[in-house]
A = this chain, B = another copy of it.
Amino acid sequence: MERIRMVFSGSGGQGVITAAIIIAEAAVLHENLVAVQSQSYGAEARGGATRSDVLISDTEINFPKVTYPNLLVCLTQEAYNKFSPIIRPGGFLITDTKYVTTHKKVAARQRELPMYQTVMDQIGKPVVFNICMLGAVIGMLEIVKPESIMKVIETRIPAGLIDLNRKALELGIKLGEPFKG
C-alpha cells in the first residue's frame, strides 16, 4: 500500500477533525492498517482555517505531520487559499463548489465537487456534510471500505442518525467515483 498523506481543511464548524478521526479509526480498527491523526494549531488557527492531518499506512509511521499531502480537501475559500500550495504534485485536491472558487494553477488533480449542495438537496441536514466529504474521498481513492467508515460512525452516534450518515457517505462516494485515481 502506498502511504496516504491527507489534509482536511475548512472552518471550525464543518467537522473536518471528526472526519479525520473517523477515517483514521476505520483504517486501524477495521482494516489492519496503521494511522496517525493530528491537529497543529498555530497563530493561523485563530484566523479560522482549521486543518487536520491523517497519515495511513501499512507500516509504522514515525513522523506524524503531513508536509505535502497527496490528498488535500479544502472546504472554505480561506482554507483553499492557505493550503492549496502544499499539495504534492499529481495529488488530489478536492474542493466544495459552494464554498470555494478555485483560481490558482496547481500541479494537482483538482476536483470541484458539489458536496454541500448535494447534502442539502438530498438530505437537508448540513451536519452530515463532513461524512459526504469522507465518501468523496474514499470514492476517489479507495483508502478504506465504506463499511469500515460506517462501523466507526455507528459507535459514535445515536442509532436514529445512522441512516442519515450512511446516505451522506453514499452520496459522497457517487460524487467521488467518476474521478477514481
Residues of A near any B CB (own CB < 8 A): 12-13, 17, 21, 24-25, 27-29, 34-43, 45-46, 60-61, 63-65, 155
Contact = CB atoms under 8 A, between A and B. Distances in A.
B36 A39 contact: yes
Contact of A38 (B25, B37, B45, B60): B37
Q: For the complex formed by this chain, how many copies does it contain in all?
A: 2
Contacts of A36: 38-41
A37 B39 contact: yes
Q: Pick the 6 closest A-B CB pairs, nearest first.
A: A38-B38, A28-B41, A37-B39, A35-B41, A36-B40, A28-B45
A13 to B, nearest CB: 8
A64 B40 contact: yes
Contact of A34 (B42, B61, B64): B42
A65 B40 CA distance: 11
Given A34-B41, A36-B41, 5 more contacts: A13-B155, A24-B39, A28-B46, A36-B38, A36-B40
A34 B42 CA distance: 5
A63 B40 CA distance: 10
A36 B65 CA distance: 10
A153 to B, nearest CB: 13
Contacts of A38: 36-39, 64
A12 B46 contact: no
Contacts of A13: 155
Given A21-B17, A65-B64, A155-B12, A29 B42 contact: no
A31 to B, nearest CB: 11
